[in-house]
Structure 1
């Protein structure tokens, strides 16, 4: 079973198979798919459960068999976003070598690309919705996201004999990369540096950030 399937079993079924007469097959998945599409089209701030019900072709009472409210379905979309983000990040690392400068750089570049390709979900993942930002599950995912960066940098420092605190360096790299991604999707670069090649900028910045001495 996938990690998303393990997070929350469908409610109201008592573990029994759904009735064969339900033409959508999996109501919960249909609602999540509809909600994800609407968040992508309209943004989370304009998403409503009623819209998701209309798109999925179900009654407005249907979501409450599986989700307590609008925020809970957004939590699920956010969790799946973090899962996809983790898979892409680790694929980037493994494609260039665990604990290598190339792997860390590829992870940073993958971060920016994910933000561009999944802007509404990325905004959900990193605090657009105050209720989600304070949710324990979202905080745990965010901590694991940073933890993967720190882990790779720790391996790199040990192998290369680099003196420095892996957590400090990890936060330093994450701050730069997240800031770059946020500026890009907010279109701030378009007005000040429209021709900047961000992939190359990230590739040049990461080695410098890893060699910078800790403050104090």
Structure 2
């Protein structure tokens, strides 16, 4: 697969795909650029035509991951239909599905120790995901008086942290797998408790 991709001018993507597989097998810090090249079916020198080193290759994996992640979040919110709350909860499920379906990308995005701010394209992709969460958070507060609305960015970051925590608890054979409820229910109940505590939703919301 690697050599065929290379001969068709897709070496860059072949290296990304190989790296995703290596991350899933060994973690984001457990592989070398030479291993990615070998898995892609090219020489150890070939990756340097597209990437200055291993970290830049990881950054491209993370960028593609954030791009897909943002699209999934935006699609899940779907303009806040049929209600901002139900749409917001769908975004949480989309978050968990992404982490489950794209573990190599997820680890590159959140577990590799990369500096997002050092790469403009990566920053833009990550910001798009952040904007999706923040916009959805703001939509929850539209019925409240302006001076009663909690900061949308704060809420987005809190729910993002909660979502990440659920992924870490339940992912890859971790202790959450033995919990009496699943990851989806854990996240949804946590978000509802949090939003009720802020006074954003009533005790028995209509979705």
* TM-score with structure 2 setting the length: 0.78
User: Where does residue 60 of structure 2 map in the other structure?
Assistant: 76
Offset from partner CA, 1:174-202 (integer Å, 9 cap, x none): 22222112222251313xx4332221232
1:28-67 matches, within 5 Å, as 28-67=12-51
Instruction: Give RMSD over aligned pairs.
Output: 2.5
Asked if residue 129 in structure 1 is aligned to residue 112 in structure 2, the reply is yes
In structure 1, the gaps of 5 or more residues are 1-21
1:64-213 matches, within 5 Å, as 64-94=48-78, 97=81, 100-126=84-110, 128-132=111-115, 135-137=118-120, 138-158=122-142, 160-161=143-144, 163-165=148-150, 166-185=152-171, 187-190=174-177, 193-213=178-198
In structure 2, how many angstroms separate the alpha carbons of the residues matched to 1:31 and 1:54? Answer: 9
Q: Given the superposition, is the C-alpha separation of residues 198 and 69 from structure 1 closer, same or farther in structure 2, using an over 3 Å criterion?
A: same
CA contact (8 A) 1:31 1:56 kept: yes
User: Where does residue 205 of structure 2 map in the other structure?
Assistant: none
Per the alignment, in what secondary structure is the counterpart of residue 44 of structure 1? coil
In structure 2, how many angstroms separate the alpha carbons of the residues matched to 1:132 and 1:199? Answer: 29
Q: How many residues align?
A: 189
In structure 2, the gaps of 5 or more residues are 1-5, 200-207
In structure 2, how many angstroms separate the alpha carbons of the residues matched to 1:164 and 1:96? Answer: 18
TM-superposed deviation, 1:83:
0.8
User: Where does residue 203 of structure 2 map in the other structure?
Assistant: none
* TM-score with structure 1 setting the length: 0.76
